[in-house]
């Protein structure tokens, strides 16, 4: 899970025009929906699925003495969700590659990973469910907003 992704040309469905989908998950509430939608999309398009479990280190860095504990929990959540996504992809017959990435700036890491694997689509979770969460994400430029603005490919936002 720790090695960098292969490019689209290197994966086994390397026929010309074979799509690649990047699913960005972090173990939060929307990650399960992101996984389901990404696998379904990859299955219907006969695409290779790249799943990146992100550990957003920024919130944990403000935890003081609990920083290590917070990072360990974030890593566990990211690994667990990435593993579940891989299992779901395997059950659906979708070729899937999974890795974990530590990211102080998740939006930059997601967009960079999408470029690296030459993704045709990024599947990402939307910000929190409440109106306040969404307004704060827009006002402060949350990960979701930044990925949509910076990505060179379409972004599927899942809630």
- Residue 24 is predicted with a pLDDT of 93
- Please answer whether residues 85 and 96 qualify as being in contact, where contact means their C-beta atoms are separated by less than 8 angstroms: yes
Q: Is residue 1 part of a domain?
A: no
Q: Is residue 124 part of a domain?
A: yes
Q: Is residue 104 over pLDDT 90?
A: no
The SS3 call for residue 61 is helix
**DSSP single-letter state for residue 141:** T
The total domain count for the chain is 1
Q: What is the mean pLDDT of residues 140-148?
A: 80
CA distance linking residue 19 with residue 80, whole number of Å: 26
CATH code of the domain in which 94 resides = 3.40.50.620
Residues 4-39: tens digit of each pLDDT: 555 544 544 455 567 999 999 887 778 899 999 999
Domain housing 113: 17-158
74: CB partners within 8 A, 6+ apart: 26, 27, 55, 56, 57, 60
Q: Is residue 4 part of a domain?
A: no
Q: Is residue 2 part of a domain?
A: no
Residues 44-102: tens digit of each pLDDT: 999 999 999 887 777 666 777 777 887 888 888 888 888 999 999 999 999 999 988 88
Q: What is the pTM of this model?
A: 0.80
- Residue 6 is predicted with a pLDDT of 54
Cα dihedral 56, 53, 129, 39, rounded to 10, equals 160
């Amino acid at each position: 899970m720790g090695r960098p992704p292969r490019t689209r040309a290197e994966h086994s469905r390397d026929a010309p025009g074979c799509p690649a989908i990047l699913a960005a998950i972090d173990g939060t509430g929307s990650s399960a929906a992101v996984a389901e939608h990404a696998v379904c999309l990859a299955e219907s398009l006969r695409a290779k699925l790249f799943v990146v479990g992100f550990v957003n280190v920024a919130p944990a860095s403000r935890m003081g003495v609990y920083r290590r504990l917070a990072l360990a929990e974030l890593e566990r959540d990211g690994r667990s969700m990435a593993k579940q996504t891989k299992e779901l992809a395997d059950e659906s017959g979708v070729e899937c590659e999974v890795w974990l990435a530590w990211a102080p700036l998740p939006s930059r890491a997601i967009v960079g990973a999408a470029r690296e694997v030459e993704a045709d689509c990024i599947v990402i979770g939307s910000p929190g469910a409440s109106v306040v969460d969404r307004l704060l994400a827009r006002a402060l430029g949350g990960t979701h907003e930044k990925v949509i603005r910076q990505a060179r490919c379409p972004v599927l936002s899942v809630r």
